[in-house]
Amino acid sequence: MHAIFKDALDVSGVQGVMLYSKEKKLVYSAFNRPVRTEPEKSVEWTLFVSLIGGLNELELLFEKGRLYMRSTVIGPLIVLMEHGPSSLVRLTTELIANNLQDPRVRKALRV
Amino acid sequence: MKPPVVAYAAYTGPLGAWPDQLARLADGYAPVAISAVDQALHHLRCNPTLMLAIQVDRDTTFLEPVFNLIESRMPDLPVIGFVREDENALLRRFSGLSFYFKGKIVSARRLHEEIERAFHKFGDGGELNSISPGMLLQLIEMERKSCTVRLFDSERSRNGTLFFRDGCLHDARLLETRGRASALEIASWRQPSIWIENYCPDRPDTIGLRNKAILVEAMRRQDAVNAAIPPPAVPDEKDSDHRLMENGGRSTKAGATIPKDQEMSPRGGAVNGSPLDRVAAALPAADVGSEPQLASLAKQLSLAGSIMEAGRLRCGFMAPADRPNRFFVCLDETVGIRIPAGHRREGVLDLLFRMS
């Protein structure tokens, strides 16, 4: 796991993190538990990412879970989580977004 | 409604117990058992059929007309065949159209297993349940995929097939018809079940239009259909008065009377009343409106719920790059909400979640 995502993944209730490029390619993903649809193989996540292209921030509340997205210099950063306060997730993704501006971090992520 | 699978037993005599047994086993599809050749031909021509399972006992004359129809009109139809060895010669003649031939006649359980396996095979590129064909056209064009997409629209009980080469739609089939008209009809379906097979047979281009042109025309037709739907009937005055008296009412601070059936239910959702009114009452400082574009986007975003297995989308917040931020809540219609600065996002989302 890349260190800059650790804080977000350690937040209580967070199920996983995905970072996509602006070209809708998966750059990074890590999950605290197995998921039904692996993003590497999923057409569905690519489709979802194509829908959120014009958004700086998005928060969706479903019956049984929550999705938070914020745009970064690389592309959309998506956090999947259980219901609960999202302020800590917003803070950690803010830090990730700042870290992604560092060319060394981008090089490590091969973008 | 589940996608229909036709089990055609091409032999004379009673079908026995397997149709009932198969119906009990079937989960995710609806089996239709047929034994007469005329009935089979009529069914294939007039009814949605996502897959065909054939059992042949002795007389191949019962098989040939059905195969001729499939070969000439619907060669993309997946066929599972259970036949005796001596019919292999006939099956070889039609080998181009058959995906799954498994040998001799079997039990209902075996048939069920093969149907499940066939669903898995022709969904090897993904199974989708919450996107429109329009979105699918854009996605496949973006990915430049070559694939066969089978769709079942439970609203209209119809199924169709779209064929893509390098992301371009080049053929479509709806029952016996093929070409552009079929593509336009399929592209206007709202939320069909979709199976993507990572294979596209070599077929001539019957469409002659770019995906975007198909999409725009399909949306225009959908709008025309929506505009033709009459508004819901308004109850007459006598009925309204009667219901108001029956339900009682409550007064707002402003002195207006709200019927009891428009109050919030114990679960937090309103029992009745316009969604706009309900949101406006819950968030008096907000600018509340019904926005078709937002409703359409929210519907598409609900895709994430099915990927995450998180259920229905209830509410959300979005900050577009080029427009003001807004909340939304999915009630009978999707309501867009703009809230003055100073409100806590968590608090608003919590309230909207309880309302929905």
Q: What is the CATH number of the domain that holds A88?
A: 3.30.450.30
pLDDT beyond 90 at B73: no
Q: Compute the distance between CA of residue B41 and CA of residue A59 in angstroms, rounded to an integer.
A: 51
More confident residue, B61 or A72: A72
Q: What is the arithmetic mean of pLDDT over B74-82?
A: 82
CA distance B71 to chain A (A): 31
pLDDT beyond 80 at B128: no
Are B318 and A58 inside 8 Å of each other by CB? yes
Q: What pLDDT band is residue B262 in, cutting at 50, 70 and 90?
A: very low
More confident residue, A62 or B95: A62
Among partner residues A35, A44, A65, which is closest to B126 by beta-carbon distance? A44
CB B252 within 8 A of CB B258: yes
What is the predicted pLDDT for the residue at B9? 62
More confident residue, B172 or B46: B172
**Domains of chain B, CATH where assigned:** 4-121 (3.40.50.2300), 127-228 (no CATH), 254-355 (3.30.450)
Phi and psi at B206, nearest 5°, equal -110, 5
- Which residues of chain A have a CB within 8 Å of the CB of B325? 57
Among partner residues A45, A55, A60, which is closest to B313 by beta-carbon distance? A60
In what side-by-side order are the strands of the sheet with A65-71?
A: A26-31, A14-20, A76-81, A65-71, A55-62, B313-320, B326-330, B334-338, B287-290
Question: Could you tell me if A56 lies within 8 Å of chain B, comparing CB atoms?
Answer: yes
* CB contacts < 8 A (A, B): 105
More confident residue, B337 or A92: B337
Q: Compute the distance between CA of residue B122 and CA of residue B129 in angstroms, rounded to an integer.
A: 15
Among partner residues A47, A60, A80, which is closest to B316 by beta-carbon distance? A60
pLDDT beyond 90 at B210: no
Question: Could you tell me if B312 lies within 8 Å of chain A, comparing CB atoms?
Answer: yes
| pLDDT tens digits for range B157-197 | 888 999 999 989 999 999 888 899 999 989 888 778 888 88
Helices in A2-110 by DSSP H: which ranges?
Answer: 6-10, 43-51, 87-99, 103-108
Structure tokens given for B213: 């042109």
Q: Compute the distance between CA of residue B161 and CA of residue B3 in angstroms, rounded to an integer.
A: 13
pLDDT beyond 60 at B270: no
Q: What pLDDT band is residue B251 in, cutting at 50, 70 and 90?
A: very low
What is the predicted pLDDT for the residue at A61? 96
What is the predicted pLDDT for the residue at B3? 67
What is the predicted pLDDT for the residue at B136? 81
- Residues ≥6 apart with Cβ < 8 Å to B97: B67, B70, B71, B75, B77, B79
Q: How many CB atoms lie within 10 A of CB B63?
A: 23
Q: Name the 3-class secondary structure at B126.
A: coil
Question: Could you tell me if A55 lies within 8 Å of chain B, comparing CB atoms?
Answer: yes
What is the predicted pLDDT for the residue at A28? 93
More confident residue, B46 or B270: B46
What is the predicted pLDDT for the residue at B309? 84
CB A89 within 8 A of CB A80: no
What is the predicted pLDDT for the residue at A16? 92
Q: Which of B299, B163, B326, B316 has the alpha carbon at shortest distance from A48?
A: B299
What is the predicted pLDDT for the residue at B193? 86
Q: What is the arithmetic mean of pLDDT over A26-52?
A: 83
Crossing angle, helix B292-301 and helix A43-51, to 10 degrees? 160
Question: Could you tell me if A87 lies within 8 Å of chain B, comparing CB atoms?
Answer: yes
| pLDDT tens digits for range B276-325 | 888 888 888 888 888 788 888 888 888 888 888 888 999 999 998 888 88
What is the predicted pLDDT for the residue at B183? 93
What residue in A sits closest to B352 (Cα-Cα)? Answer: A61
- Give the CA angle between residues B229, B234, B238 to the nearest 5°: 160
Question: Could you tell me if A3 lies within 8 Å of chain B, comparing CB atoms?
Answer: no
What is the predicted pLDDT for the residue at B198? 83
pLDDT beyond 50 at A94: yes
ipTM for this prediction: 0.93
As to burial, measured by CB atoms within 10 angstroms (0-12 exposed, 13-18 middle, 19+ buried), residue A4 is buried
Phi and psi at B284, nearest 5°, equal -60, -25
Structure tokens given for B110: 């075996």
Question: Could you tell me if B42 lies within 8 Å of chain A, comparing CB atoms?
Answer: no
CA distance B135 to chain A (A): 8
Q: Compute the distance between CA of residue B269 and CA of residue B116 in angstroms, rounded to an integer.
A: 39
- Give the CA angle between residues B86, B87, B93 to the nearest 5°: 130
Q: What is the arithmetic mean of pLDDT over B115-133?
A: 76
CB B356 within 8 A of CB B333: no
Mean pLDDT check: name the lowest of A31-45, A93-107, B21-35, B325-339. Answer: A31-45
More confident residue, B15 or B337: B337
DSSP β-ladder status, A76-81 and A65-71:
antiparallel
What is the predicted pLDDT for the residue at A68? 95
Q: What percent of chain B has pLDDT over 70?
A: 72
Interface of B with A in 148-187 (CB under 8 A): none
pLDDT beyond 50 at A90: yes
pLDDT beyond 90 at B233: no
- Residues ≥6 apart with Cβ < 8 Å to B138: A50, B211, B215
As to burial, measured by CB atoms within 10 angstroms (0-12 exposed, 13-18 middle, 19+ buried), residue B234 is exposed
Q: Compute the distance between CA of residue B138 and CA of residue B219 in angstroms, rounded to an integer.
A: 13
Q: Which of A3, A53, A51, A48 has the alpha carbon at shortest distance from A28?
A: A3
CA dist B138 → A25, A96, B112, B274 (Å):
16, 31, 34, 34
Q: Name the 3-class secondary structure at B62.
A: helix
- Residues ≥6 apart with Cβ < 8 Å to A50: A24, B138, B139, B142
Q: Name the 3-class secondary structure at B326.
A: strand
Q: Name the 3-class secondary structure at B205.
A: coil
More confident residue, B102 or A84: A84
- Which residues of chain B have a CB within 8 Å of the CB of A50? 138-139, 142
pLDDT beyond 50 at B245: no
The domain tally of chain A equals 1
Are B321 and A54 inside 8 Å of each other by CB? yes
Among partner residues A47, A61, A87, which is closest to B303 by beta-carbon distance? A47
Q: What is the DSSP letter of B194?
A: E
Range of the domain at A81: 3-108
* Average per-residue pLDDT for chain A: 87
What is the predicted pLDDT for the residue at B254? 34
Q: What pLDDT band is residue B102 in, cutting at 50, 70 and 90?
A: low
Mean pLDDT check: name the lowest of A85-89, B65-69, B121-125, B227-231. Answer: B227-231
